Amino acid sequence: MPDTPGSLHRAAEIIKKYDGNINRIQFDRRIDSGTVFYEVTASETSYARITQDLEQIGYLQSSINPMSFLKFCVYLPHRPGALYEFLGLTTLAGANISFLDFDDKGRHPDRLTVSLNLEQGAVVDRLLNQLKSLYRMEIIEYDTTGKKLDDTVFYVRYAQAIRDLIGKSEDAFLLSFLADTNRMAQELMDRGCDPKQVFESVLKTGQTLKATTGNHFYADVQKFRIHDNILLFCFQVPCGGNIFLVKSDEKYLMIDTGYGIYHADVMAMLSRYGVIDIRKITRIVVTHADADHCGAAGFFASPVLMHPSTLEIIRTNNRAYGSRSDHSSLDEFYTKMINLFSRFTIPEAVDCISESTGISRGIFPVIGKVSMGDIEFDVLDGLSGHTAGQVFLYSRTYGLLFAADSVINFASLSKERAEYSSLAAFLVTSVNVDSDSAKKERKGLLELAQETDNELSLSGRRCLICGGHGAVSVLENGKLVASGETERYVP
């Protein structure tokens, strides 16, 4: 919309004319003075007429064309109307002026400095050729990447940055993504947050993931010999959740898969640690539906075990499914956003497990068992604190408790991992869909770990707590302390 009095009223008048109901409107000049988001309910016929009328007056944005930033100096003649004539050329080219500087009493009385945002391609060349034929000019800066665009076209600049992360995408998809991001910013702004920080956090999430792949990928690795023929590996990848492997009789149980965007890097890493044949990973257990724990599951042919609610979260693309979260709309957008940036892949062969066996471990019902060689795990049903359907794996015999995201040794997180995790916490206000249940889960798991530790201590062993993030740890005076040695993997 033009940033002029009456523009909002004119759009609302068109919507009212065809009996449209405005459900949401968001406009903030601090973000972008030319973009307004409307969500409207209307019949199909009314919708078609509303969009047609808005398009006729130039209000409807249905595409996002790449734009360039151009900064130059032009030397105007000293006569009335010179600036008017110059501006006529820029207007004809569809350029959006973001900066003008001229003072005939200054150091350069005949020089006009101009910054423009304008569509790429022939338009830029045509404007430059026209200006060069009429004026003496100097090009100061010309950028076609969109990185130099200023906030007078904030959403265009933002869309170009999103395109850099996800590759080619249809305009309709980008416009929908911008609308979803704007809705998240609006809700968080109502909670007292800076809207610019919302957009920056979304972008930084995708940029951090992309920047930690390939040659920039790394992991912190812990290795434990649990028994004569049982090994445990913990891989802390750059962002997101841990990947665990339990090896027994030359076969592997994988617990959580990490982000899809890391899959190629993870496969190269696993081969370094002896997993040459991926078919030896005969079973994958997904503790919960967040992308950093199951986003690569679709790359494997191995059957994937999960809770039915976890499968529904994946199907609905909404981590708030099955919960009474007071921030469910934020959870919904975050799920779509992180699944997009992290290249979430849906597993094909899924086995669901949820029926109670009538046995409990502490406060957690046992809903099944998973075996790998000589080791057998109880599958414990969570309390839907972090997400609905989160499960835990537990072996009292071998002192292993895979606590997913309900128990994390935060002190063991690197600065980079902690900063990345804080982005999600800011965007959804809480990574737990039910804070009270999450507290009960953590307390129950720590009590189970302590009880197990007390039993194993008689034989000089410990209960290893394998959290969804951070180092594998043990309890020391009620606190989590990293166990064993950690080595850094780099490609």
State which amino acid sits at residue 364.
F
> With contact defined as beta carbons under 8 Å apart, do 130 and 156 qualify?
no
CA distance 41 to 22: 7
CA distance 119 to 326: 42
Strand bridging mode 350-352 / 219-227: unpaired
User: Which range, of 22-36, 37-51, 252-266, averages the lowest pLDDT?
Assistant: 22-36
Domains of the chain, residue spans: 7-56, 67-143, 214-489
User: Which range, of 50-64, 89-103, 223-237, 385-399, averages the lowest pLDDT?
Assistant: 89-103
User: Which range, of 83-97, 204-218, 438-452, 465-479, averages the lowest pLDDT?
Assistant: 83-97
Burial group, residue 32, by CB count within 10 angstroms (0-12, 13-18, 19+): buried
> With contact defined as beta carbons under 8 Å apart, do 35 and 155 qualify?
yes
Task: Say yes or no to pLDDT of 89 above 90.
Answer: no
Q: Hey, which residues does 94 pair with through a beta bridge?
A: none
CA distance 435 to 480: 21
3-state DSSP assignment of residue 205:
helix
Mean pLDDT of 384-391: 96
* CATH code, 214-489: 3.60.15.10
The predicted pLDDT at position 120 comes to 60
> With contact defined as beta carbons under 8 Å apart, do 400 and 466 qualify?
yes
Q: pLDDT tens across 157-206, in order?
A: 788 888 888 887 777 888 889 899 999 999 998 899 998 899 999 999 99
Q: Smallest Cα–Cα separation from 363: which of 377, 338, 382, 345? A: 382
Task: Say yes or no to pLDDT of 119 above 90.
Answer: no
Q: pLDDT tens across 344-387, in order?
A: 999 988 999 988 888 999 999 999 999 988 899 999 999 999 99
CATH of range 67-143; options 3.40.190.170, 3.90.400.10, 3.90.1300.10, 3.30.70.260: 3.30.70.260
State which amino acid sits at residue 98.
S
Q: pLDDT tens across 418-433, in order?
A: 999 999 999 999 999 9
| pTM of model > 0.75 | yes
Mean pLDDT of 300-316: 95
The predicted pLDDT at position 66 comes to 67
Ramachandran angles phi, psi of 377, nearest 5°? -110, 140
CA distance 177 to 196: 16
3-state DSSP assignment of residue 3:
coil
Mean pLDDT of the residues in the chain: 90
Burial group, residue 46, by CB count within 10 angstroms (0-12, 13-18, 19+): middle
